[in-house]
Structure 1
Amino acid sequence: MSDHRGIALIVASALFMQNLDSAVLATALPAMARDLNEDPARLGAAITSYLVALTVFIPFSSWIADRFGAKRIFMSAILVFVGASALCGQSQGLGELIAFRVLQGFGGAMMVPVGRLLLLRGVAKKDMLSAMAWLTMPALLGPVTGPPLGGVLTDLWSWRAVFWINVPIGLLGFLLVAWKIPHVPPARPGPPDLVGLALTGGALALVMFALETVGRHVVPAPLTWGALLLGLLAGVLAIRHCRRVARPAVDLSLFSIATFRDPAVAGSLFRTGAGAVPFLIPVMLQIGFGMSASQSGFVSFATALGAFAMKPLVRPLLKRTGFRATLMVNGVVAAAGIAALALVTPAWPSLAIFLLLAAGGLARSLQFTSLNTLAFADVPTERMSAATALYGTLQQLTPALGVVLATASLEMSLALAGRSALVAVDFSWGFVVAALVVLASVPLHARLPADAGEEVSGHRR
């Protein structure tokens, strides 16, 4: 096993833990709502609070990794994530749960992009696709095993057990990192761009707070709209600031690289639409169709099973068709797969739902892997730290937006129908909206050069 494969597998242990956490939590949400006496749609805050924390803190990760050493920060982040997971399992209310999820998000923000940085800094371009495959395949075991594991743990013990499972996994990953990954000495990145970090983090936090609370009567409406306006203002100021300073918190000049810009912009639209699906499926199966957590888990894990099955096929497909054609054609296929979920009713047999979810997982996995590999295809080594931080921020922001999109679609459907409880048809509208957002990303890929990323994909016209 070459060095890049060994490092990829060890770093993947952290990704596995994070992906497992997200997958088991989605399955346990209805049980959490009953236990905490909360509406299931409001429990989406348990997911978005974590993702927002990731988004806010990831811009700090590149400077911290350079200043204190990537391996040291990676190991510390694993311990923070594990400790916060244990605290989440002790939560007695939604407020406590959100607070501990924010702490968990801080650990994840330092863990995932820094782990990717450990891998990508030493990988030749010809090995990048292989390295990303080795990184993501073990990590996909989290989504594959998460839904059924979350269902079983919830039904046999409690939803709290879905957080406690992170403790042994995280400690094992910590020991593997300490044993096998070589030391990375600290660098001299210069002083951090504190103004840029504050403006960027504040803008993201305020906008996500506004989107999460708008129309839900959780906080007074003026507070929601005030947060949105302040967030947008902070975002404009952050962009102006980062364009003017020598070492910005967010390196916006990376958008001049076409193969980074496309996964960042078009990929964000795709990830937002696709990010609604993992939230909608388990809630639909349990609340809309009346399944137990275990039944829901064993059906919904088909999505991740399809994604796992696609991984060995990505390299030959990209070599044959190239990035641009793959992203455009497969984007349409992925949107159709999400839209098809709107046709599912409680009368469908579980096997038919399983097969439809698996097919959708295949398409979305191909798109995710293509986007994530293309993003770093032409980034110079000396800018890789800034690129992983910026791209990681977008990767975590968009699933949070996807959950907000899903919950807003459900509540809009309820309001239009004049109902107070979710039924199966409400989820159909959620899938239609998500599919349209995914489809909107497809025309943007046409701007890519025909030879985009060919050194990585091996495709020759």
Structure 2
Amino acid sequence: MKAGVIRDPKIQKYLPWLGALAIFMQALDGTILNTGLPSIAKSLGESPLEIQSIIVSYTLTVALLIPLSGWLADKYGTKRIFILAVTIFTLGSLFCSLSDTLSELICARIFQAIGGSMMVPVARLTLIYAYPKEKLLKVINFITIPALIGPMLGPTAGGFLVEKFSWHWIFLINIPVGIIAVMMARSVIPNFTNKVGKFDLLGWILFSGGLTAITLVIERWNSPRISLFQLVLLLILSLILIFSYIIYARKKPNPLIKLNLLKITTLRIGLIGNLITRFGVGGMPLMVPLLLQVGYGYSAFYAGLMMIPQAFSNLISRSFVVPIVKRFGYRNTLVFNTILTGMLISMFFFISKNTPYWVVILLMIGNGAFNAVQFTSMNTISLADLDNETSSDGNSLLSVTQQLAISLGISISAMFLILFKNSNIGLSSDNISVFRYTFLVMGMLTVFSSFIFTKLDKNAGANMSGKRVYKGEEK
């Protein structure tokens, strides 16, 4: 089936719900895992401040395989690949629950990520193919609202399962949801296809190799198993591979990642903004649960309860994204919201052992609200000027950027956490101090990232925000 607007009322009604279900699975998996990290670390004999590899292995694998997902979906059909993706993700969740060592868990997470790399991107690509531009913002905003049930249930459910049973059980929740998604996909999702050429294997090796090497440098800089010389070699290798891909992509007619897509201004700025902004914001899902459990000493279940206000705030704020963007435009919304998000993250610096718990909750509520505006706006402006010919490649590039940024954001926050922990700059001995300085750095990175959005035209994304433009002016 060729891409085009779907007229079938059944598909129009239930397709967004299927997309929401796919995002729900990933959101539930991520939030449950974040809450359970200290318990996993204790069970496996690892430090809770140095166990981020469980998350990074997943997000990095997803980033590396997303380009393949777009090619597979276009060649074999969105329906076939989506069902395959959900099946692999569900089996990976089962393997994670059966893991008994850190190495086994990381391997299972990588297998799970193979499905995750296709599941959400293919669902979103299907929506791009199925709906006209003027409806796409509302559809994308809608699919994130039911998905936020995952972050609301995840932390509390994860904390309860970890305390009452074992951390192995936190992955089993994905299995019934995965079965429902497969059954629903069989009758709801269209099997869109597009004409594609041969997969760019050499380009994928150069691209994925460069990303893997740079992530390992950030991830393993403090490991006693790797020397400074080896780190420098990895950094040099990553730069060589990345620049080699740039040269290669400019010469190849149909490369893995088409660099000429970056000529689309909204896509280019949206991607760079996604990447840089998430350097600061991306570490929050790791930092907050660790702060509550390692810093404040809360139990996993109580920490999970503390995360609900943030998720609920995020859910409520989604309904305000469309009117905010319509009123102020993408440029103003993203510039000011990014600054406010960074300032709020920096405010975590002022917490201490004696800070009332309700102050932390207020900060988390604000973080959830600003994130709702930030992520929806960044994602939709990136897609604003894509057409049927560029949708697949642009969507894949956006997904790669998001996952890479999340992976780097987690690695960067963990890096600063360890740096401050091992520093001799006079930090107090309590565990909260190292978190405070890490939050300050993350907030500053986020504030600085607002500069990229000043490069947007004031009318950027008008076809998605609902603004009408006449003779270059907004009305």
Common fold by TM > 0.5? yes
* Residue 255 (structure 1) shift: 1.0
For the pair 1:258 / 2:258, whether they are aligned, the reply is no
2-side partners of 1:8 and 1:433: how far apart? 37
1-side partners of 2:430 and 2:115: how far apart? 34
* Residue 346 (structure 1) shift: 3.0
For the pair 1:27 / 2:17, whether they are aligned, the reply is no
Quickly say closer, same or farther: Cα 1:68–1:422, change in 2 above 3 A. Answer: farther
Q: Which residue matches 2:200?
A: 193
Q: Which residue matches 1:428?
A: 436
Q: Secondary structure at the match of 1:338?
A: helix
2-side partners of 1:284 and 1:257: how far apart? 40
* Residue 227 (structure 1) shift: 2.0
Q: Secondary structure at the match of 2:386?
A: coil
2-side partners of 1:348 and 1:203: how far apart? 43
* Residue 2 (structure 1) shift: 7.7
2-side partners of 1:145 and 1:109: how far apart? 23
2-side partners of 1:457 and 1:215: how far apart? 45
Q: Secondary structure at the match of 2:46?
A: coil
Q: Which residue matches 2:3?
A: none
For the pair 1:100 / 2:108, whether they are aligned, the reply is yes
Q: TM-score, normalised by structure 1?
A: 0.96
2-side partners of 1:220 and 1:164: how far apart? 38
1-side partners of 2:428 and 2:166: how far apart? 27
Aligned sequence identity (%): 32
Select 1:307's aligned residue among 290, 296, 314.
Answer: 314
Select 2:458's aligned residue among 438, 444, 450.
Answer: 450
The one-letter amino acid of 1:188's match is: K
Contact (CA 8 Å) 1:264, 1:375: kept in 2 or not? yes
**More displaced 10-residue stretch of structure 1: 351-360 or 321-330:** 351-360
* Residue 3 (structure 1) shift: 4.5
Deviations 1:382-417 (A, max 9, x none): 110001111100010111111111111111111114
For the pair 1:327 / 2:334, whether they are aligned, the reply is yes
Select 1:292's aligned residue among 299, 303, 319.
Answer: 299
Task: Please list every run of 5 or more consecutive structure 1 residues that lacks an aligned counterpart in the other structure.
Answer: none
Select 1:202's aligned residue among 206, 209, 212.
Answer: 209
The one-letter amino acid of 1:216's match is: S
Task: Please list every run of 5 or more consecutive structure 2 residues that lacks an aligned counterpart in the other structure.
Answer: 1-8, 469-473
Q: Which residue matches 1:222?
A: 229
Q: Secondary structure at the match of 1:441?
A: helix
Q: Which residue matches 1:369?
A: 376
Select 2:286's aligned residue among 267, 279, 286.
Answer: 279
1-side partners of 2:12 and 2:353: how far apart? 46
2-side partners of 1:420 and 1:306: how far apart? 33
* Residue 4 (structure 1) shift: 4.3
For the pair 1:408 / 2:410, whether they are aligned, the reply is no
The one-letter amino acid of 1:127's match is: K
2-side partners of 1:130 and 1:3: how far apart? 16
Q: Which residue matches 2:61?
A: 53
Deviations 1:210-257 (A, max 9, x none): 211012224343333322221211111111111111111001111111
1-side partners of 2:228 and 2:179: how far apart? 43
Q: Which residue matches 2:6?
A: none
Q: Secondary structure at the match of 1:41?
A: helix
Contact (CA 8 Å) 2:160, 2:301: kept in 1 or not? yes
Select 1:238's aligned residue among 225, 245, 248.
Answer: 245
Q: Pairwise mapping of residues 16-165 of structure 1 onto structure 2 (< 5 A)?
A: 16-165=24-173
**More displaced 10-residue stretch of structure 1: 298-307 or 442-451:** 298-307
The one-letter amino acid of 2:118's match is: M
* Residue 5 (structure 1) shift: 5.0
Quickly say closer, same or farther: Cα 1:402–1:130, change in 2 above 3 A. Answer: same
1-side partners of 2:223 and 2:312: how far apart? 35
Quickly say closer, same or farther: Cα 1:5–1:425, change in 2 above 3 A. Answer: farther
Contact (CA 8 Å) 1:4, 1:119: kept in 2 or not? no
Quickly say closer, same or farther: Cα 1:319–1:157, change in 2 above 3 A. Answer: same
1-side partners of 2:339 and 2:262: how far apart? 25
Contact (CA 8 Å) 2:340, 2:447: kept in 1 or not? no
Contact (CA 8 Å) 1:259, 1:448: kept in 2 or not? yes
Quickly say closer, same or farther: Cα 1:146–1:268, change in 2 above 3 A. Answer: same
Deviations 1:342-366 (A, max 9, x none): 2222323323321220111101110
1-side partners of 2:74 and 2:432: how far apart? 49
Q: Secondary structure at the match of 1:416?
A: coil
Contact (CA 8 Å) 1:267, 1:441: kept in 2 or not? no
Deviations 1:273-312 (A, max 9, x none): 1011111111011111110001111112322221111111
Residues paired across the two proteins, number:
460
